[in-house]
Amino acid sequence: MVDYGKEVKAVVLAAGKGTRMKSNKPKVLHEIFSKPLLGWVIRALESINPIIVAGHGFEDVKKYLENYPDCSIVEQKEQLGTGHAVKMCLGELKGFRGDVLILCGDTPLITKETIQNFIKYHKDNNSDLTVMSAIFDNPFGYGRIVRNAQNCVDRIVEEKDAKESEKSIKEVNAGIYCLNWEKMQSAFNDLKNDNAQKEYYLTDIIAWANSKNYKVNGFVIEDNNEIFGINSREQLAIAASVMNKRHLRFLMQEGVTIIDPDCTHISPETTIGKDTVIYPSTYINGKNEIGENCKIGPMSHLRGNCKIADFVKIGNFVELKNAQVKSHTNVCHLSYVGDTEIGENVNVGAGTITANYNSITKAKNKTIIKDGASIGSNTVLVAPVTLNENAFVGALSVITKDVEKNSLAITRNEQKEYKGWVTKKKGIVK
């Protein structure tokens, strides 16, 4: 982690409506692994405090940012272009003398490593303005990066304005910039909107910088997927798939066995220890910690905020949420475990449910299962409830009270048998 402290700030452009999403929700609040696109961008910024420029759905974006107290937000009431969006931040950046990173809030695949390398390149080359670029074999539709004899960026030419010689250029604008703010801030008061859209374009700062004889460099990104922007539901699904496969690849390189990567989904916010096996059709969402030598799945669902120790088995069709499971414990198939702490060497029988939610009061209560406890199949534990050390619960029980250590708790009725009942009901006469 590189801590830029007060040297670098970021501006995240998040004002777009996202018309092609066909949604009432602002585009940047659409989710991958239950985290909005904007959240993934903020995560990649790590130690850099961003200013979020919001427009459509401003109040919704503002409410989401309550999760990020280090972020600030400004409103772009009229969407007059990307250059105008940055201009809205002049007040927030007044007196700032460092570098300003500008990026879009709909690029969830950007990584902290790339951002750090980008800023390092900008600083190492004493740049006044650095443009992130990418190389595409088929650059159709992208703005082309035109370099001068010194290999600095001369200008960006949009597809519709490009000459044939310029259209052959494969280096394109990635839409991410780093600016020496002390020198570049004046550009946003000088931008013109003399174009068909009557918008103020961020790309025009390149020509402005060159007119001042400032140093404008280009940084070529290694993985083009990182600048993939989301404008439709289809692109949202593509980005989710890329993010997932990237994390699965990392986990396998770190010693985790993924039986079938094509049907396994694991959030990048989940860490997994070596020699753990993830079986097919498992979906692990949100932030979780999974230890070493575990077996998860098949068809398990971790909904987030789970901490699983070493040598734990989470069986097929098991759902966990906000659960802590200590070592050498089994949670068997068809169980639901939520808002629960489970100790070591516990056996949670098949079909066990922790009833943690009161639909009347809307309260969620906690279940505590201590070391050595054993729970029979098809049992319901009604929270708040505690099973103490080595407690044993008989199958098909509904437990509403704490169980003392080394005790058996059972609530089912005595089995009764009515001889000849079926014969009578079917009217069978012998």
Q: Which of 41, 38, 31 is nearest to 16 (CA)?
A: 38
Exposure string over 5-15, b if 16+ CB within 10 A, otherwise e:
eeebbbbbbbb
Q: 171-180 and 129-135 as β-strands: parallel, antiparallel, unpaired?
A: antiparallel
Cis? peptide before 280, omega within 30° of 0: no
Which residue among 122, 247, 301, 333 is the active-site one? Answer: 333
Q: Which burial class, exposed, middle or buried, applies to 341 when counting CB atoms under 10 A from its CB (0-12, 13-18, 19+)?
A: middle
**Residues forming beta bridges with residue 385, ordered by sequence position:** 367
Q: d(Cα 318, Cα 298) in Å, to the nearest integer? A: 9
What's the farthest any 2 CA atoms get from each other in the chain? 108
CA distance 189 to 88: 11
Size of the chain in residues: 430
Question: In angstroms, rounded to a whole number, what is the distance separating the alpha carbons of residues 307 and 272?
Answer: 10
Q: Identify whether 328 is a catalytic site residue.
A: no
Report CA-CA distances (Å) from 81 to 86, 139, 302: 9, 23, 41
* Cα–Cα dist 254/273, whole Å: 8
133 to 78, 147, 172, 224, 385: CA distances (angstroms): 28, 12, 5, 9, 57
Instruction: List for the chain the helix, strand, coil content (%; round to 5).
Output: 25, 30, 50
Measured between its terminal Cα atoms, the distance across the chain in Å is 83
Residue 37: how many CA atoms within 13 Å on its side-chain side?
32
* Active centre residues (catalytic): 333
